[in-house]
Structure formats: structure tokens, C-alpha cells
């Protein structure tokens, strides 16, 4: 195929950006030019992987003497500052966390609109790919095909027979669905209307009611394992394509340090994601509980890694190469981010899910109700609930055998290549 230019704009968080890195790497290997219009804190990290960087600011740049920001620092700070809200029921978070999050996303889109138009003029992409949860009008008015990627739980694509997105409610208990949906509308409709007016003023089409991002007329990709998808309850149109997983091949290899290499017990991975791990109080509690077990742990410590230490049965770092870690471990303790959940199925690992925000509640509930792991109350679980879930899942040989079969199928489908080919076909 003749070389083309593909422009990716991922959300400034590790999950969506890593997803785009994996897909973009395949396109690059196919001879195409891949540009990232990522958020400015990713400077130097994407060109090192062979991509073209043409980055945007989502807020006024820091002063020249300010310390250099880590990748995704904007959202790390936001989550850290609002983490007390995660202790509330999901319906109460709609006004105190979900709405402010949408507003921050909207503010970022408005701030960078002119920058995006300049980037598109400079880079002249043949296809634009957005992996984000809100609309950027410049991406839809560029006169080239627009591809949407959904890196969140697929409840983002709503349906009358599905629980409300962000609720974490069970699929077979409708008792609270209507109340949650009504509260979502009450807390978000005015903001959505103002945003939709601005989107249309920029020349982009109107958004669907209470949706903050458009459906593409060309291609919509979402990543979720077929075994836990909601397909039977929510059929999608012909422009939608699901891939079971999208696992990048750019992570560094990992050699286990001593004593993890030869210690006793199972090897377990603890990660609350690049954003969730900013809640160092929760991370300290988890480390203290897990230190009492007979098992060994690899810990993704997160951006505030220096704020706490690890005991002898653990090793970790601010960032660990997750796709190199997962094949080595027996169990994963996770926040339920979509990237980690799909990668756990890819590598056939059972999960304990401690959701914190956004779609993590929905992922946690889905893993729990389909029997592939356990959902715990993130801030209210008893110590023995966590340690008991660990022992239960490690001992469940039938589950491990089933996951092994599922993982084999998922890996054979090679979702990252399938996604790249679907985008290439556009």
C-alpha cells in the first residue's frame, strides 16, 4: 500500500496513549508516517519510538522555570486532587467528580482547538484517529476520514438493556438504573448543551444527546474481550469493529530481581494505573496488607513512587513494563482500567478489581459478574477480604484453565494488528 500519514490524538493518559502506540507502531512498520498530536507532557517519549511528535497544550503552558512535567501529569494532578470523591457512591460522584472531569476535558478541547487546526495544516494527514472521550472539532472538519477509538468500557456505547455508564451497576438488577440515568441528565445536560453549541460553532456536526464525542461514519474501534462484551444486549452498526485486546509490543523486557525470582508463594502484580496510584494512602494500605502474605509482588508504584517504600516480598518502580510483567504473574490486583482488564484476558490472568473512578466501576462489575475475578469495595474492604480473594482465585484451577483457553484465542486474533489493518483500510 502507498505510504500514508496517520494522525493520532490520544487522551493524555497511559491507557489510551499506549493503545495508540501499539496500533501506530504496526502502521509505522507497514511503511506509513504516524504523527502524534498528543498532550505536551509526552514530549520526547513518542519520537523515541519512531513517531512524529506535533503536540498540543490542554491548558496554558507552565512558566519556563517550572519543573518538567511527567507524561500525563495534567490528569495525574487532577485525580490526586479529587481522590476524596472516590469514597462516595457512584451516583453521588456524578456531580462532584464526573461532571468536573467532563468540564476539564471540555476546557482542554476548547483551549487546543486552534493548535489542532495548525497541526493538521502542517502534517496533512490522510486519516485522523482519535482515542478520547470528548470531541475535538478540528479532527472532524479536516476533510479527511475520521476514526474513533473507544479505550473505555463499552458501556460508553449506551443501550436500553445496559446499565448506565459510570454506575458500576449489575446487568441483571435494573432497580437503580433509572435513578442514576436521571441524575446524570440533571447534572450534565446544561454543560452538554453549551459544549454542543461550541462544537457546532466550529463547523462540526451536532453531538447526540448527552454524548460528548461523535460516532465516526468511517470506522469506530473498541477494545474489549468478546467473552465479557455486551454484544447480545447492544448490537452495533456496521461501522463498529471490536478487537479483543490491543497489546503494544514496545515495552522493555523484564528480568525478575531477587528475591522475587526464587521466593515462595505466587507472583502477583499490583497496579492501580498511572492515575489511581497517585492515591498514595490507598497504595500504602495495600502494600501493608500484602506484606503479611506468603506471596511475592511486583508493584507499579506510580508517579508518586518516592512517597512510600516496599517490604522484602515486593519489588516495584514508578513504571514497570506491564505487558512484560503480565505473562510472569499468577494474579493481578488492578483498578479496572480498560487497558489492564483487556491485557489480563490477553495473558489469561484472574483479577481482583478495586475501582476508583470513571469506567473502572463498570469494568470491575463486569469482571465480577462474569466470574473472571472479584470486585472489592476499594476503600471499605476488610483486610481478610483481600487476602481471602487472593487465596480463592489462586486455588481456582477451573478458572485458570478457562482463562488459559480464552487467552489462547485472544492472542491468536492479534487485536493490535487487526486494529491497524482496519484503520489502514480506511
What is the secondary structure of 159-197 as a DSSP string?
-TTSPPTTS---TT--TTHHHHHHHHHHHHHHHHHHHHH
Report the alpha-carbon distance of residue 137 to residue 213 in Å, rounded. 10
Do 212 and 293 lie in one domain? The reply is no
Inside any domain, residue 258: no
Do 29 and 168 lie in one domain? The reply is yes
Q: How many domains does the chain have?
A: 2
Contacts of 3 (CB under 8 A, 6+ apart): 31, 32, 33
For position 135, what pLDDT does the model report?
96
Give the Å distances, CA to CA, from 205 to 103, 201, 208, 213, 300. 20, 9, 9, 10, 41
One digit per residue, the tens of pLDDT, for the chain of length 426 reads 689 999 999 998 778 888 899 999 999 999 999 999 999 988 899 999 999 999 999 888 765 555 555 555 666 666 667 777 888 999 999 999 999 999 999 999 999 999 999 999 999 999 999 999 999 999 999 999 999 999 888 999 988 999 999 999 999 999 999 999 999 999 999 999 999 999 999 999 999 999 999 999 999 999 999 999 998 898 889 999 999 998 876 667 788 887 788 778 999 999 998 777 878 889 999 999 999 999 999 999 887 777 888 988 999 888 888 889 999 999 999 999 998 999 999 999 999 999 998 899 999 999 999 999 999 999 999 999 999 999 999 999 999 999 999 999 999 999 999 999 999 999
Do 215 and 272 lie in one domain? The reply is no
Do 280 and 324 lie in one domain? The reply is yes
Inside any domain, residue 402: no
Give the Å distances, CA to CA, from 363 to 145, 228, 236. 30, 10, 19
With CA atoms as reference, report the closest residue to 387 among 288, 258, 277.
Answer: 288
Report the alpha-carbon distance of residue 36 to residue 39 in Å, rounded. 9
Do 167 and 125 lie in one domain? The reply is yes
Inside any domain, residue 115: yes
Contacts of 168 (CB under 8 A, 6+ apart): 90, 355, 361, 362, 364, 365
Inside any domain, residue 259: no
Inside any domain, residue 361: yes
223 beta partners: 243
Do 164 and 273 lie in one domain? The reply is no
Do 324 and 236 lie in one domain? The reply is no
Neighbours of 338 (CB within 10 A): 25
Inside any domain, residue 20: yes
- Cell 491507557, located at residue: 15
Do 232 and 299 lie in one domain? The reply is no
Direct distance between the N- and C-terminal alpha carbons of the chain, in angstroms, rounded to an integer: 12
307 beta partners: none
Do 240 and 155 lie in one domain? The reply is yes
CATH of the domain at 343: 3.40.50.2000
Inside any domain, residue 311: yes
Inside any domain, residue 196: yes
Residue-range definition of the domain harbouring residue 219: 5-248+414-425
Contact 386, 289 (CB under 8 A): yes
Do 283 and 233 lie in one domain? The reply is no
Nine-digit cell string for 255: 528480568
Nine-digit cell string for 316: 516495584
Report the alpha-carbon distance of residue 290 to residue 270 in Å, rounded. 10
Do 211 and 335 lie in one domain? The reply is no
Do 280 and 207 lie in one domain? The reply is no
Amino acid at each position: 500500500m502507498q505510504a500514508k500519514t496517520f494522525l493520532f490524538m490520544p487522551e493524555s493518559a497511559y491507557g489510551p496513549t499506549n493503545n495508540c502506540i501499539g496500533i501506530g507502531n504496526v502502521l509505522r512498520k507497514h511503511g506509513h508516517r504516524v504523527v502524534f498530536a498528543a498532550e505536551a507532557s509526552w514530549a520526547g517519549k513518542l519520537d523515541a519510538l519512531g513517531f512524529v511528535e506535533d503536540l498540543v497544550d490542554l491548558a496554558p503552558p507552565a512558566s519556563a522555570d517550572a519543573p518538567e512535567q511527567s507524561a500525563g501529569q495534567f490528569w495525574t494532578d487532577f485525580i490526586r486532587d479529587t481522590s476524596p470523591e472516590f469514597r462516595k457512591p457512584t451516583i453521588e460522584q456524578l456531580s462532584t467528580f464526573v461532571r468536573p472531569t467532563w468540564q476539564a476535558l471540555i476546557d482542554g478541547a476548547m483551549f487546543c482547538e486552534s493548535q489542532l487546526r495548525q497541526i493538521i495544516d502542517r502534517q496533512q494527514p490522510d486519516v485522523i484517529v482519535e482515542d478520547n472521550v470528548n470531541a475535538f472539532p478540528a479532527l472532524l472538519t479536516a476533510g479527511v476520514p475520521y476514526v474513533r477509538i473507544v479505550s473505555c468500557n463499552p458501556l460508553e456505547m449506551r443501550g436500553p438493556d445496559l446499565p448506565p455508564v459510570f454506575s458500576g451497576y449489575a446487568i441483571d438488577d435494573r432497580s437503580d438504573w433509572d435513578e442514576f440515568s436521571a441524575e446524570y441528565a440533571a447534572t450534565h445536560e446544561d454543560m452538554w448543551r453549551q459544549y454542543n453549541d461550541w462544537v457546532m460553532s466550529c463547523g462540526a456536526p451536532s453531538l447526540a444527546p448527552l454524548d460528548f464525542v461523535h460516532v465516526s461514519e468511517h470506522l469506530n474501534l473498541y477494545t474489549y474481550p468478546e467473552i465479557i462484551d455486551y454484544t447480545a444486549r447492544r448490537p452495533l452498526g456496521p461501522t463498529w469493529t471490536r478487537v479483543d485486546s490491543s497489546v503494544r509490543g514496545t515495552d522493555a523486557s523484564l528480568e525478575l530481581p531477587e528475591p522475587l525470582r526464587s521466593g515462595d508463594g505466587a507472583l502477583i502484580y499490583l497496579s492501580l494505573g498511572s492515575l489511581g496510584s497517585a492515591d498514595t494512602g490507598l497504595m500504602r494500605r495495600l502494600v501493608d496488607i500484602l506484606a503479611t502474605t506468603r506471596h511475592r509482588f511486583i508493584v507499579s508504584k506510580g508517579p508518586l513512587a518516592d512517597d512510600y517504600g516496599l517490604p522484602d516480598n515486593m519489588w516495584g518502580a514508578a513504571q514497570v513494563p506491564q505487558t512484560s510483567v503480565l505473562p510472569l504473574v499468577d494474579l493481578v490486583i488492578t483498578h479496572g482500567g480498560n487497558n489492564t482488564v483487556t491485557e489480563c484476558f490477553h495473558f489469561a490472568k484472574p483479577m481482583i478489581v478495586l475501582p476508583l473512578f470513571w469506567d473502572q466501576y463498570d469494568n470491575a462489575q463486569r469482571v465480577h459478574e462474569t466470574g473472571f475475578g472479584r470486585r472489592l469495595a476499594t476503600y471499605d474492604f476488610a483486610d481478610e477480604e483481600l487476602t481471602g480473594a487472593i487465596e480463592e482465585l489462586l486455588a481456582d484451577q477451573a478458572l485458570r484453565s478457562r482463562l488459559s483457553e480464552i487467552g489462547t484465542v485472544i492472542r491468536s486474533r492479534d487485536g493490535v494488528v487487526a486494529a491497524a489493518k482496519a484503520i489502514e483500510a480506511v
